Amino acid sequence: MFPLVVKCTHHLEEYLDKRVGRERVIDCRELAAKFTTDVIGTCIFGIKTNAMDEFHKMGKEVFAPSLRNILQLRLKQFMPMLYNLLRVLPPQKYVPFFINIVSETIKQRRENNIFRPDFINLLMELQKHPDKLQNIELTDRMLTAQAFVFFAAGFESSSLTISNALYELALN
């Protein structure tokens, strides 16, 4: 198993140890979401999240059912050209949060010469070697967008898969 995921599994065990004695029912959906947030935070952003902080709250807010999210999804499904033309973006309240995380992480790594085998490091390497890209300038905003795509792809889909697997295991 990857060392970073082992750390996240340890956080999951600590979380469960705290809850098992006090709570009769543990929400597996929420448990899986916290675990995937921890894995994403560690493997993509290179930060220790422990899944109880702002990072997890932002993930929940981004995917919360809302009129805006539903309209965006329907627009993307039924009118993809219009969706692309409008360049529908996440609500602006999330943008500064993710830009700050990525920018601060990159700044701290550069200043302290820190290397971590994660997604942010890959983006930093691409930024150093723009010749590997075809005329694309990798600004901090662009790096943030790439990291956010990975965050979005991993947060909801992985936690749903894990919670459904736990449900099936409980039934059988």
pLDDT of residue 111: 92
Q: Other C-beta atoms within 10 Å of 58: how many?
A: 19
* Cα angle: 52, vertex 58, 60; to 5 degrees: 85
Q: Give the chain's domain count.
A: 1
Mean pLDDT, residues 63-82 taken together: 78
81 part of a folded domain = no
State the residue range of the domain holding 132. 3-64+90-171
Model pTM score: 0.66
Taking only the tens place, the pLDDT of each residue in 103-132 is 888 888 899 998 888 888 888 888 887 777
Mean pLDDT, residues 149-167? 84
Q: Specify if 83 maps to a domain.
A: no
Q: If you search the block for the tokens 């309240």, which residue do you land on?
A: 93
- Asked whether residue 165 is domain-assigned, the answer is yes
Residue 58 falls inside a structural domain: yes
Residue 77 lies in a domain: no
pLDDT digits 0-9 by tens, 35-66: 888 888 777 777 765 545 667 777 777 777 77
Assigned domain for 100 exists:
yes
Q: What one-character DSSP code corresponds to residue 135? A: S
Tokens of 3: 């060392």
